[in-house]
């Protein structure tokens, strides 16, 4: 769906609490202001760490619902059964442990806004209930047959292509189109390098105050390195690195040596397990091994080369995230269900 066109220059002005004045973010500000006053559902799209929750808050704060609740639900952080109860509530006796009636997040957001983060992580049967809420503004609590009416503005967010997931059969196409009334794409930090100096200054001020430091200057070489870096973790990664620099700085300047080598050398970050991995060397090794062992009629050559690399990467990322599948899936950029299948495929699901 095409973005809503801009109408005035003032609409492109930065939103309160959001840093960035470049053209990529100016378009985000325009659409956010235009959609805020409507009742339309909004779908925020972008990589992890691009600020989707900030935009959701801005839409709520600029709307007529700003004095009503803003309720956030991270759909990827809860199991399927817990998420259903969290969203819709339950009645006493609905399941083991349900000793009292409980109000769900949709009821808590009545007359306000509910922000469904990581909507791509929801199970198919929950997607049916979400579609009904969007279409009819009603649902049943878990274990109940009585319908509950709500007036709730829905903002959803995803770091995955929902149409791609629909093709895979893990996301309902009708729900996608119901959520995607107004899409807003949050650009990755690598596409808005002009905003990095302003962001760094903002985070310097924040962490100077928190840590009673005075890192007031920024080495131009440090800014140059940060603007060239690809930032897979986006603004959140930048924020963490500025905090690190403030804590480690011995003087009043953020210098190049205070940044990780992944930034100063421009090399992609390695997976952070119990040991560092050189994925480039590993890949070369496995490719040469696969080619040397192949024969002229080997039709399975690609999988023989790719699968060992994929297994090694998944194993290292799982180790680096303490085997928390939600975090590992986000770092790998895949759906949690896909990760679960890969873990089973490679015999990694039983590791401790």
pLDDT, one tens digit per residue, over 200-209 is: 999 999 999 9
- 176 and 198 belong to one structural domain: no
- 142 and 112 belong to one structural domain: yes
- 23 and 169 belong to one structural domain: yes
Q: Taking 90 as the threshold, does the pLDDT of residue 311 lie above it?
A: no
How confident is the model over 29-73, as pLDDT tens digits? 999 999 999 999 999 999 999 999 999 999 999 999 999 999 999
Q: Taking 60 as the threshold, does the pLDDT of residue 287 lie above it?
A: no
| Mean predicted confidence (pLDDT) in 80-106 | 74
User: How confident is residue 271, by pLDDT bands cut at 50, 70 and 90?
Assistant: very low
- 73 and 180 belong to one structural domain: yes
Query: Is 90 domain-assigned?
Result: yes
- In the prediction, which pLDDT does 30 show? 93
Q: Taking 60 as the threshold, does the pLDDT of residue 303 lie above it?
A: yes
The CATH number that applies at residue 298 is: 1.10.10.60
- In the prediction, which pLDDT does 275 show? 42
Q: Taking 80 as the threshold, does the pLDDT of residue 111 lie above it?
A: yes
The CATH number that applies at residue 223 is: 1.10.8.60
> Higher-confidence residue: 10 or 227?
227
Share of the chain above pLDDT 90, in %: 55
Count the domains in the chain. Answer: 3
- 135 and 199 belong to one structural domain: no
- 163 and 255 belong to one structural domain: no
- In the prediction, which pLDDT does 267 show? 61
Residue at which a domain ends, from 187, 215, 237: 187
Q: Taking 70 as the threshold, does the pLDDT of residue 17 lie above it?
A: yes
- 30 and 151 belong to one structural domain: yes
- In the prediction, which pLDDT does 305 show? 67
Query: Is 272 domain-assigned?
Result: no
- 80 and 225 belong to one structural domain: no
> Higher-confidence residue: 82 or 350?
82
User: How confident is residue 221, by pLDDT bands cut at 50, 70 and 90?
Assistant: very high
- In the prediction, which pLDDT does 227 show? 96
Query: Is 3 domain-assigned?
Result: no
The CATH number that applies at residue 151 is: 3.40.50.300
Query: Is 221 domain-assigned?
Result: yes
Nearest to 128 by CA among 163, 90, 99, 88: 88
- 175 and 72 belong to one structural domain: yes
Q: What is the pTM of this model?
A: 0.71
How confident is the model over 117-126, as pLDDT tens digits? 999 999 998 9
- 114 and 176 belong to one structural domain: yes
- In the prediction, which pLDDT does 265 show? 84
Query: Is 1 domain-assigned?
Result: no
Share of the chain above pLDDT 70, in %: 81
- 26 and 78 belong to one structural domain: yes
Domain span holding position 292: 279-345
Q: Taking 80 as the threshold, does the pLDDT of residue 212 lie above it?
A: yes
Q: Taking 60 as the threshold, does the pLDDT of residue 351 lie above it?
A: no
């Amino acid at each position: 769906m095409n973005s809503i066109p801009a109408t005035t220059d003032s609409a492109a002005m930065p939103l309160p609490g959001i840093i960035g004045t470049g053209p990529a973010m100016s378009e985000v500000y325009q659409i956010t202001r235009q959609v805020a006053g409507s009742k339309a559902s909004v779908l925020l799209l972008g990589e992890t760490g691009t600020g989707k929750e900030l935009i959701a808050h801005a839409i709520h704060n600029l709307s007529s619902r700003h004095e009503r609740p803003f309720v956030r639900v991270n759909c990827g952080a809860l199991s399927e059964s817990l998420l259903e109860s969290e969203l819709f509530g339950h009645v006493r006796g609905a399941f083991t442990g349900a000793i009292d009636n409980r109000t769900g997040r949709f009821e808590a957001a009545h007359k306000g806004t509910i922000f469904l983060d990581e909507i791509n992580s929801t199970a198919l049967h929950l997607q049916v209930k979400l579609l009904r809420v969007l279409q009819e503004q009603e649902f049943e609590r878990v274990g109940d047959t009585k319908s509950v009416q709500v007036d709730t503005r829905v903002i959803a967010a995803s770091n995955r292509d929902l149409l791609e997931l629909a093709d895979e059969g893990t996301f309902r196409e009708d729900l996608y189109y119901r959520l995607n009334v107004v899409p807003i794409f949050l650009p990755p930090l690598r596409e808005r390098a002009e905003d990095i100096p302003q962001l760094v200054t903002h985070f310097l001020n924040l962490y100077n105050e928190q840590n009673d430091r005075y890192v007031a200057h920024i080495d131009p070489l440090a800014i140059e390195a940060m603007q060239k870096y690809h930032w897979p973790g986006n603004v959140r990664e930048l924020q963490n690195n500025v905090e690190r620099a403030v804590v480690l700085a011995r003087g009043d300047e953020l210098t190049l040596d205070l940044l990780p080598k992944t930034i100063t050398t421009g090399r992609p970050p390695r997976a952070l397990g119990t040991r560092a991995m050189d994925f480039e060397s590993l890949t070369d090794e496995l490719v040469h091994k696969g080619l040397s062992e192949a024969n002229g009629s080997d039709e399975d050559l690609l999988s023989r080369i790719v699968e060992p690399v994929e297994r090694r990467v998944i194993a290292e990322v799982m180790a680096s995230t303490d085997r928390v599948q939600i975090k590992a899936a986000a770092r790998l950029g895949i759906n949690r269900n896909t990760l679960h299948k890969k873990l089973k495929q490679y015999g990694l699901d039983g590791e401790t």
